[in-house]
Amino acid sequence: MKERLPETNTLFIGFNPGFGSGYDKLLESWSLDLVMLVNLNYKVFFTQANDFSDLRGECRVFEKLFENKINVTLSPTENPFRAVTIYTEEGAVG
């Protein structure tokens, strides 16, 4: 029998996993892992690159995949330490 990690000090983090981006192959690649992570009953946190598509998409995945039957420990919040990168064309004024 495998020994379980203690639930009190075990945390899984997905840094901008992208499963809510609308790219079906990426969501499919995450589906079994998401179910496994939720069934393990450990705390799982996900970060998103933005709040207009990634966050909305990933929240929708949880709504549909788990029918809102997951316990939310921390609601989505703005990251006070975020970094912003703006890409412009060569020669363009940013």
Per residue in 6-61, pLDDT (tens digit) is 888 899 999 889 898 888 999 999 999 999 988 888 889 888 877 778 888 888 88
pTM given for the model: 0.70
Check residue 81 and give left, alpha or beta (phi > 0: left; psi -120 to 50: alpha): alpha
Q: 76: which residues sit within 8 A by CB, 6+ positions away?
A: 48, 51, 55, 59
d(CA 61, CA 17): 12
The one-letter amino acid at 29: S
Kindly report, residue by residue over 78-88, the tens digit of the pLDDT: 778 777 666 67
| Distance in angstroms (rounded) separating the CA atoms of residues 44 and 37 | 7
